[in-house]
Amino acid sequence: MTKATEASTDAAIAASANAEIARWALMDAEESSAFTLGQMEAQTAAQDKSARAAQGASITAAQTLESTKKQFQIEVRPYVVKTKVHLAEIPTINNKLLGEVCWQNTGRTPALEFSSVVHIDLLAQEPDNPTKWVEDALTRSESKGDIGSGIERCFPVRGDNPLSKYWEGQIESGGRVLYIWGAVIYKDVLGLSHYSTVCGAYERESVNPLYLWACNDTKKNAVK
């Protein structure tokens, strides 16, 4: 074999070896690339899962906080309830109708900015529209102040005109019924507004007629 032939053969062997090395290097690079891509995909999935878990935890925490606030409000808020609705005297000719409504805060915190509007009159049927009573208490309050926990306060209510013989006859015949009705509004320590309504009817044949009977519609004697 000539020297030229040997050189050519060596060059071919070297080229083949270099090609094989390059092929293995390419395979290693592809495998490395695939492994890196898999790692990235797994990392992205883990991040998404972590983000969803964090979002879920945030929502749960917000719901728990809201539930706690509502429970706190229910447990500690003031509850102003009607304790008595009565007349000062039996309706009498030439005297104005005169009654009294007593409220007590049965809650655990003060009832703030307490306002009350209560009416007394002779009507052919039960007074209607408790929503309007609450609006009256809000816009035409006759009294303001606070009522502490466990405290009772009474407010007088007086008719506009002396009772005439005609209207006394209406009471006697049942043509008209004497009603006391109205509402109170107040706020709790969180600044949220609440209200209570009252409606009572005079029953002259009652064992104790000075104390009025609750009106038929329960919405007219509500605590909200």
How confident is the prediction along the chain (224 residues), in pLDDT tens digits per residue?
A: 554 555 555 555 555 656 666 566 556 655 555 556 666 677 777 777 777 777 766 677 677 667 767 776 777 899 999 999 999 999 999 999 999 999 999 999 999 988 889 999 999 999 988 899 988 888 875 557 899 999 999 999 999 999 999 999 999 999 999 999 999 999 998 899 999 999 999 998 888 889 998 888 777 778 88
163 and 113 part of one domain:
yes
Q: What is the model's pTM? A: 0.67
33 and 134 part of one domain:
no
Instruction: Point out the domain boundary residue: 37, 72, 107.
Output: 72
Instruction: Point out the domain boundary residue: 33, 49, 72.
Output: 72
Question: Long-range contacts made by residues 192-195, C-beta under 8 angstroms, separation at least 24?
Answer: 192/73, 192/77, 194/77, 194/78, 194/80, 194/111, 194/223, 194/224, 195/134, 195/137, 195/224
Please report the pLDDT score of residue 18 as a whole number: 62
Instruction: Point out the domain boundary residue: 31, 50, 72.
Output: 72
Structural domain containing residue 139: 80-221
88 and 67 part of one domain:
no
Please report the pLDDT score of residue 219 as a whole number: 75
Beta strands in 13-150 (DSSP E): 80-87, 96-105, 112-123
127 and 198 part of one domain:
yes
